[in-house]
Structure 1
Amino acid sequence: MKMTVSKGIGGLVSFAGYVLQYACITHCAFEYIGDFVMCSGPSMEPTLESDHILLTEHITPRLQRLRRGDIVIAKSPTNPRQNICKRITGLPGDKIRTSFTRRSQIVPRGHVWLEGDNSSNSADSRVFGPVPMGLIRSRAILRVWPVHKIDPF
């Protein structure tokens, strides 16, 4: 009887070790390589609609290799508990002319200018100004849902 209980406990501990190991690998992959993001809200319509799911990568923002036109996921500058999905329309040193204020602004070093594709219904850099690159979490590389709209960016 003792032999069976020891074997069962040893197998359980071994199984728990594998689960923990794979959980750590998965966490690191989602934290440092890429993950999936579900969009919500109208600010990126018609490019992205609510409930579209994107595959995103975390490497480009960390290496500061972002380009104008990239769609990024960032922490909201006005609410750090919320993520926003916007397009980069200005890089450091770019002169941006905003339609709201009808004046020009230069994007400072270490910042980007983010705007939603639906300019009439988007709270973006035109409202809160240039966004620090440190708030950018990831760059969208592929729409994976809905299946009939799978599309790389």
Structure 2
Amino acid sequence: MFLKSMFKSILIGLPVGLTLLDTVGYVARVEGISMQPALNPEAKNMDYVFLSRWAIRDFSVKRGDVVSLVSPKDPNQKIIKRVVALQGDVVSTLGYKTQYVKVPDGHCWVEGDHTGHTLDSNTFGPVSLGLLNAKAIAIVWPPDRWQQLEAKLPAHRRPISMPV
């Protein structure tokens, strides 16, 4: 009787759990220093963030959002960056092949907060919105770092022009 009950719980729980992870969100560890000081301010301690898949289900992101995406350089790697510019925006680049880039339709420009210590759009260019897989909502670990992640953009990284 116990085994039958346990099997039934697993049979129901597993699909429900996987569906929640796939559509709602999950917790992930942030590695590296590319998002300092917002994430991992001390290199020895890693932050864990709640990544909401639901928040970007229609690919609506705004400037300043911290997002998780598939790396355009390595499809087996997920990276976390801040959205700096949206489609139609003109952004001043930091070492990209051209000084200014107009972000094409269906794309965004992402950067790490730790300028000079990050591989981001300044390396690989505008990113297709289809590569985004979640929005970082909050730091959930360690407890002394519990906080929501605000959609903020440093003044010096604002797009030069934005569509009206």
TM-score, with length taken from structure 1: 0.89
**What residue in structure 1 maps to residue 103 of structure 2?**
107
User: 1:71-118: per-residue Cα shift (whole Å, max 9, x none)?
Assistant: 001010010110000000010000011121461111111111000000
Percent of matched pairs sharing the same residue: 32
For residue 69 of structure 1, the aligned residue among 46, 64, 70 is 64
**What residue in structure 2 maps to residue 46 of structure 1?**
37
Give the drift of 1:120: 1.4
Give the drift of 1:19: 1.1
**What amino acid sits opposite 1:21 in the alignment?**
I
**What residue in structure 2 maps to residue 16 of structure 1?**
7
**What residue in structure 1 maps to residue 21 of structure 2?**
30
For residue 91 of structure 1, the aligned residue among 69, 79, 86 is 86
Which one has a bigger Cα radius of gyration?
1
Give SS of 1:77's match: coil
* Dislocated runs of 4+, deviation >3 Å: none
User: 1:18-69: per-residue Cα shift (whole Å, max 9, x none)?
Assistant: 1121111111101111111100011001110162000111122221221100
**What residue in structure 1 maps to residue 143 of structure 2?**
147
**What residue in structure 2 maps to residue 81 of structure 1?**
76
Q: Please identify, of 50-59 and 114-123, the stretch whose mean Cα deviation from structure 2 is larger.
A: 50-59
Q: Please identify, of 110-119 and 41-50, the stretch whose mean Cα deviation from structure 2 is larger.
A: 41-50
Q: Is the 8 A contact 2:109 2:125 kept in 1?
A: yes
Q: Is the 8 A contact 2:59 2:132 kept in 1?
A: no
Q: What CA RMSD, in Å, does the superposition of the two structures yield over aligned residues?
A: 1.3
1:118 is aligned to 2:140: no
Give SS of 2:87's match: coil
Give the drift of 1:14: 3.4
Unmatched runs of 5 consecutive residues or more in structure 1: 1-7
Number of aligned residue pairs = 144
Question: Aligned equivalents of 1:14 and 1:120: distance in 2?
Answer: 55
Give SS of 2:116's match: helix
Unmatched runs of 5 consecutive residues or more in structure 2: 150-164
**What amino acid sits opposite 1:23 in the alignment?**
L
